[in-house]
Structure 1
Amino acid sequence: MRVLYSLMWWLALPLVLTRLWLRGRQEPGYRQHWGERLGFYGRATPAAGPVLWVHAVSVGETRAAEPLIDALLAEYPQSRIILTHMTPTGRATGKALFAKHGERLQQSYLPYDTGSMVSRFIRHFQPQVCILMETEVWPNLIAVCNARSVPVVLANARLSERSLRKASRLGALLLNAARGISLVAAQTDADARRIRSLGVERVEITGSIKFDVVVPEAALAIGAALRSAIGQRPVLLCASTREGEEELILSAFTAARAALPADILLLIVPRHPQRFDEVEKMIAAHGLQVQRRSQLALEGGQLQADVLLGDSMGEMFAYYAACDVAFVGGSLQPLGGQNLIEPAALGKPVLIGQHTFNFELVSEDALAAGGAQRITDAADLMSAAAHLLNDSSARAAMGQNALSFANQHRGATRRTLALLKDLV
């Protein structure tokens, strides 16, 4: 099965590279560093100490990896980290988050999953351990690591019922890969049970590392400056929105203006940067005045627009810090939702839609703690937002519940680090 899988990769490679080039029209980062994706890295430099390999596919996984990477570099002061990604936005996020570590952290794209490309990567960087964040399982990567005695760890691992059904359809290919994983640090008992069903021998429950995220002081400073530019206006943030959601939100927003505070500011942050221009046109088509964050001077003057479009990278914490109520996107449509831990960690009331299957347990726990509220549709979103924005006591109580919920679940990084000691 793995031979057939590898052959399919080679046959598909021209199409994969063509798609990469086409995506580069909207995101130029896709046209950079192609050699890394093919397993070419230039002359190898001897490592000054042990190399720890962490793979975080895109933005969410990179942000989730921050507490673990910081802890690894502190625990092993002679080590350095090679951090791999699959997307330019993930790489840009990593650059912003980890510049503080200087030469101790190097970034690269993950090579495509063929035996020869992965082998070149391992020969070049010579990692002592491979740590895959969340749900990344690559059959050839795991096979090559096993052959070269590089332990493979799945950290902050989660596996929904839907993903398990998809994985089961891959049969022996995925089952053999799963058996090659040395350790899984699962977020929940349900995740652990589903992962064990794939044949992984060692699965431990550590909780979610995302609860251990430390809010950067710089992000709080930007959030404060943004809030100053906004003034006293109440802010409803719709964060990490996905295709199809903005239209629903904007229609509901215009229809509910009478119930919402008169001077409300709607802050929309699309999850994918290639959609910024599209969403700006959508806002204007609703007759709303729009201001882009990238064109907003944070010093002097007050923001007058109806809608602020968050078109910057790496400022999600700043947006959460500046808002009064946060809706977490990807949940109005059947897309699985996004992480609600960040707004909760900042003590913000959180609204979520019906579709949160990618973050099922954390969503249910936040709801049970009174820090989140589930809404049925965009109209219900505006109704819930109107209630919270018009009732400061209810808003403060819900925000405090969210903060308490986030604080109670910390510690996954420490537990994961303890498990890794046997492998590093």
Structure 2
Amino acid sequence: MPIFKHPEYPEATLLRLESMVPCRESQVSTLLSIFGERQHFSFPSLFIYGHTSSGKTYVMQTLLKTLELPHVFVNCIECFTSRLLLEDILRQLQHLSSKKEDPPPPPLSCDTFNDFIRLLKQATMSPDLNNQTLYVTERNVTLVLLSEIVWDLLRPNTGCLEPLPLYFPDYSIGHLQKILSHDHPPEYSFDFYAAYINILLGVFYPVCRDLKELRHLAVLNFAKYCEPVVQGEANERDTRQLWKNIESHLKKAMQTVYLREISSSQWERLQQDDGEPGQLKGLSAHAHVELPYYSKFLLIAAYLASYNPARTDKRFFVKHHGKIRKTNFQKKHEKTSNHLLGPKPFPLDRLLAILYSIVDSKVAPNANIFSQITSLVTLQLLTLVGHDDQLNGPRYKCNVSLDFIRGISRTVNFDIIKYLYDFL
């Protein structure tokens, strides 16, 4: 008998759902009881919250798709204005109510919430949607909010109808072991891959609980783990020898957690290249860090601001289309390199001024740029200093090494050495 029970859905559907969402039986059972039958009114709003990679989005999307419930899914980060949000919802509703043979509907323009209510009624006039609850992640509409923030921090001051909260706790190490073990390659046994996952979690679980990141690390390092088996030097039960072969490999891979420096396909190609025997390739700290385009330039600007004297900014960053004339500065009374003294703090306005000078395209100081600065601080690539000084604003320091920033610069075709005071 399936763990999930619901009189409206066949047992085969519930069994398939059970296999697709392991370790979230309690949450799915709660959602099934809230949804009820298709023609019944459901709770008007749900607030699902929990830390990142706790299965919120995956469980919700799997549940709605498997049960074939009419729904739309909207990313509120991408739809950063109310107009974009409302038009995206209406566009998905048009797709739900139209048939495959119908011509594509014209795009809708929705400027106000009153327009949205009027267009929503028109979009849900289809007989398929008329008698069913519509889930939007005069018709019954259930709004499902997915967040990593608790509701108390989002509650409006003007008051509102309180949503029904549902908490998704973090996966335990046992849950992670069970979920990751199901990803085993078909050419290897389940027990062999489960033993590998046990070793992987023993190394990474104290510093990383993110299921997506752990799944990426498992794929990235599995080839190294089974290398002795492939070469005929050990069998699948020689756990001690397999551990010795991968121990140093995993310790070095600890430097890449969350930075996603290299993809699995790139990793496999690097291991096939000729090189020194036993050398670990592709995990250096300055490989291919996956950062947004402007985040890379922000990090380059931060490095230049940390290691160049402020008085040299005018000479370096006057517009020359990426090229400057070679010139010799008179370094009087300077006996020590700035790189030996370490990074110096710099204000936010200097960081942005350098950014606008080194980026070819025009960049507006919008919320996206400031959020990327915050992300760099979260990743500990930048350090926030003097944040209590409200008069002068925040100050930052760059935490990365010269080799690291040269690797970042190469990915955007920027020659950072030409802009460093110490290398003139």
TM-score bracket, shorter-length normalisation:
under 0.3
* TM-score normalised by L of structure 2: 0.25
| Bigger radius of gyration | 2
* TM-score normalised by L of structure 1: 0.25
